[in-house]
Amino acid sequence: MSFTDKLKKGLQKTKAVLFMEIDASLFTRGIGEDLFLEIEEKLIAADVGVKASMEIVERLREAHKSGKLKKPADLKPTLKSIVLDILGLPQPFVIFGERPFVVLCIGVNGVGKTTTIGKLAHKAITEGHGVVMAAADTFRAAAIEQLDIWSKRTGAQIVKHQPGSDPAAVAFDALEAAKSRGLDLCIIDTAGRLHTKTPLMEELKKIKRVLAKSVNFAPHETLLVVDATNGQNALHQARMFNEAIGVTGLVLTKLDGTAKGGIVLAIRRELNIPIRMIGVGESIDDCRDFVPEEFASALFD
Which tens digits make up the pLDDT trace of 228-258? Answer: 888 888 999 999 999 989 999 999 998 877 7
User: What is the predicted pLDDT for the residue at 149?
Assistant: 97
Give, as one character, the DSSP assignment of residue 245. Answer: T
Q: Taking residues 152-157, report their average pLDDT.
A: 97
Superfamily of domain 101-300: P-loop containing nucleotide triphosphate hydrolases (3.40.50.300)
| Least trusted range by pLDDT, from 13-22, 156-165, 272-281 | 13-22
As a whole number, the mean pLDDT across the chain is 91
pTM score, whole prediction: 0.92
| Weakest-pLDDT range from 2-11, 54-63, 137-146, 258-267 | 2-11
Strongest mean pLDDT among 20-24, 175-179, 190-194: 175-179
**12-46 pLDDT, tens digit each:** 888 888 777 677 666 666 788 988 998 899 899 88
> What per-residue confidence (pLDDT) applies to 291?
95
Contacts of 219 (CB under 8 A, 6+ apart): 102, 103, 104, 188, 208, 211
Tell whether the model's pLDDT for residue 215 goes beyond 80. Answer: yes
Per-residue pLDDT at 141: 79
What is d(CA 281, CA 44) in angstroms, rounded to the nearest whole number?
25
In CATH terms, the fold of domain 3-87 is Four Helix Bundle (Hemerythrin (Met), subunit A) (1.20.120)
What pLDDT shows up at residue 84?
Answer: 95
Smallest Cα–Cα separation from 39: which of 18, 64, 59?
Answer: 18
Q: What is the pLDDT of residue 15?
A: 83
Hey, where are the domains in the chain? Answer: 3-87, 101-300
Is the pLDDT assigned to residue 275 strictly greater than 70? yes
